[in-house]
Amino acid sequence: MEFRVVFICLSLFVLTYAEPVKFKDCGSAVAKVSTVDIVPCPKQPCELRKGQSYSVNVTFTSNDESQSSKAVVHGVIAGVPIPFPIPNDDGCKSGVACPIQKDKTYSYVAQLPVKTQYPSIKLVVEWELRDDSSNDLFCVKFPVQITS
Ligand SMILES: *[C@@H]1O[C@H](CO)[C@@H](O)[C@H](O)[C@H]1NC(C)=O
């Protein structure tokens, strides 16, 4: 009986546990990023399995106002940024309540689908969220490994 309780607790822990992803800032001009979370990502660099979708959660505090926010995602392969399509690039429909206000903290939550035709390589994902003037609210980058 006790063993079963411990087992259930452990399973729940493993399922919900998400260590913040180690990211680098690549020019967040308008906001300050506090955490980047990718679910699921049990070990780093995050392994992205083809055919699966991942949830990316970037928590940031804005230093300015913006009516809109637009996400731009690239996969950087050997230093060359290649557009990485996401289903919805509207940040205001991805957990961010627009208009964005100064000194408020937001969690931008988006889906990152990994297409089956992607190559099995290690690359850097560069994720930007741009404001009304096309300035980066945030720009974060983190390494991933695509696997089949
Ligand atoms: C996103 O991350 C923030 C900070 O860790 C957390 O408070 C929030 O609940 C997360 N949102 C989702 C949808 O996981």
Question: pLDDT tens digit string along 54-91?
Answer: 999 999 999 999 999 999 999 999 999 999 999 999 99
Q: Which of 107, 108, 109, 112 to mutate to test the pocket of ligand 1 (most atoms within 8 A of CB)?
A: 107
Q: How confident is the model at residue 19 (pLDDT cuts 50, 70, 90)?
A: confident
Helices (H) and strands (E) in the chain, counts: 1, 9
pLDDT (mean) for 42-57: 96
Q: Which atom of ligand 1 is nearest to the CA of 37?
A: 2
Give pLDDT tens digits for 82-100.
Answer: 999 999 999 999 999 999 9
Q: Which atom of ligand 1 is nearest to the CA of 109?
A: 13
Question: 20 preceded by cis ω (within 30°)?
Answer: no
Q: Is the pTM of this model over 0.75?
A: yes
Kindly report the protein residue whose alpha carbon is nearest to atom 4 of ligand 1.
59
Kindly report the protein residue whose alpha carbon is nearest to atom 14 of ligand 1.
57
How many residues in the chain? Answer: 148
Coil, strand, or helix at residue 90? strand
Q: Which atom of ligand 1 is nearest to the CA of 55?
A: 14
